[in-house]
Amino acid sequence: INGEDLLRQTIYGLSGLASTTDNASSVSIQILESTFNQPGASYYVLMDNNFVKNKQLDEPIRGIEKNEYRLYSDNYADSYSDGTTCLLRLTREGSDYFKSLSNNEINSLFTEISNELSRITPIEANRLSTSNRWQNDAKTQQVLMEFKVEASKNSKINTKHIITDVDNLVRFKAYTPISLSNSTYLLDETYGFIPATNLWEKYKYQLVYVCGGIVLVCAAFLVARFLYPGGNNSIIFQFTLILVDFTLDMLFIVNNGQDVQGLFYPSILILCLSVTFNGILAFLTILRETAQNYEFSKWLNTNTRITTIVTIVSGADIDALRIIGSQFAGLKIFSAPFSIKATGWIFAGSFITLFIEDIPQFIIQVIYKKNTIVYDIIPFLTLVTSSIILINNLIFRTYHAFQYRDLYRDIFASQNLREEDITGIYNTPVSTAKEPLHIGSAPGSGLGSPKVTSFESVRGAGGGNDFSS
């Protein structure tokens, strides 16, 4: 090819690719699909002496010399196909060797493998390139390497045929020049040369189920809003996101945590730190409310089970605790009368969680996406949920910070009013209140700015805040 003799396939007499016919009068040889892969090319067969023997005389039969037996392939124009990304995997020994190399040596190995594959296939050198990107195989921890097959031009061999040829050369490397090169012999013949996964094609049914779950959550929100418009019914979205995000974080660590070097232990540390902080804060919040908030204590007596469940879930994110005070769908189990201080604890905890969990996890997912060549559904969904949670928290934490500041300014501007005096006045968390808090004298009382000596909570059907002195 191009004036150069290029070995295409080697067959040994005792290999599985050679066999005799029933009467032992001829030899049948299996030819790989990649052997005669060039259109309009000339090939010749070499056979060593003693490749076959005379059965009756038990003597070697003379072989075939160069150019004694020639073959010619048809000349044809191949159809066009787009470029694509493909993967190779190194053997276990090759992976160990690869991981011992420096970055410059790794880049050199990528280039050498790319050049050797281009020569052996054979194709133009610019048709096969590398990005020098790699990762560990999640199942075997062997090294996966990414290569790009460029689109065909001028009726040259197309991308599909290149992938098939390289795949055959690698899978049958014992019979091809792949095993003769110092670089390509490191390739794993059990893996071959396969196109990178198309996420939608591989997981389309799972993604449909995800969309179905989103529809169900939206339906639950609409039903709750219909039943009780005054409640903080949108909490169902955040609560669901918290559960999904925590589940995906654990699955990511178990299934993909070691795909990229340096991400496994930080992922575990962030998750453990977040769960410990949020779990302790949720427990202390409930404990404090039980001891110091009489209204909450009364509510807790009949709603112990749901409180226990939500407190455990709040280990994933303290914001999950807000659901029991959201009046979701007007249900009593979601009508916990949190005090202002408890609401402040939840807000402060969620603000801290933004920095110890949400932002670090998002950064880890971005690093993972940038440094992986096989992007699976779990990392994809983890990145999506992390992005949604981070954007949501950045926007609403800022909004709630200003809202909470105004609330406390209104409360403590009143004369001698302590936080304990208004325990239990909120049937929704402060962060979801839509109207400002107003404290003043009753109409017609003739009082200007009275000193508050007692306080009574009157909770209306609409979830508002009415006060009388």
**Residue 153 within any structural domain of the chain:** yes
**Residue 16 within any structural domain of the chain:** no
Q: How many CB atoms lie within 10 A of CB 379?
A: 22
Number of domains in the chain: 2
| Domain final residue, candidates 370, 397, 424 | 397
Beta bridge partners of 121: none
Rounded Cα gap, residues 195 and 168, in angstroms: 14
Q: Is 99 exposed, middle or buried (0-12, 13-18, 19+ CB in 10 A)?
A: middle
**Residue 70 within any structural domain of the chain:** no
Residues 261 and 357 in one domain: yes
Residues 273 and 167 in one domain: no
**Residue 23 within any structural domain of the chain:** no
**Residue 408 within any structural domain of the chain:** no
459 and 427 in contact (C-beta within 8 Å)?
A: yes
Residues 214 and 173 in one domain: no
Q: What is the pLDDT along the chain (469 residues), one digit of tens a residue?
A: 666 788 888 888 777 787 777 677 778 888 888 888 888 888 888 888 888 888 777 888 888 888 888 888 888 777 777 888 999 999 999 999 999 999 999 999 999 999 999 999 988 888 999 989 999 888 888 999 999 998 877 767 888 899 999 999 999 999 999 999 889 999 999 999 999 887 888 888 889 999 999 999 999 999 999 999 999 999 999 999 999 999 999 999 999 988 888 899 999 999 999 999 999 999 999 999 999 999 999 999 999 999 999 999 999 999 999 999 999 999 999 999 999 889 889 989 998 999 999 999 999 999 999 888 888 899 999 999 999 999 988 887 777 667 666 666 666 665 444 444 443 333 344 433 333 333 333 333 333 333 333 333 333 333 333 333 3
Residues 371 and 268 in one domain: yes
Q: What is the dihedral of CA 176, 180, 184, 186, to 10 degrees?
A: 110
Residues 107 and 208 in one domain: no
268 and 258 in contact (C-beta within 8 Å)?
A: no
Instruction: Write the single-letter amino acid at 265.
Output: Y
For residue 93, which of 137, 130, 143 has the smallest C-alpha distance? 143
Residues 262 and 323 in one domain: yes
Residues 355 and 220 in one domain: yes
Tokens (6 digits) for 358 = 């949400």
Residues 205 and 312 in one domain: yes
Residues 147 and 235 in one domain: no
Beta bridge partners of 128: 149
Residues 129 and 259 in one domain: no
Rounded Cα gap, residues 313 and 245, in angstroms: 12
Rounded Cα gap, residues 302 and 425, in angstroms: 19
Rounded Cα gap, residues 321 and 462, in angstroms: 22
Torsions phi, psi for 152 (to 5 deg): -80, 155
Q: How many CB atoms lie within 10 A of CB 22?
A: 6
Residues 186 and 205 in one domain: no
**Residue 35 within any structural domain of the chain:** no
Residues 159 and 307 in one domain: no
For the whole model, what pTM was predicted?
Answer: 0.70
**Residue 234 within any structural domain of the chain:** yes
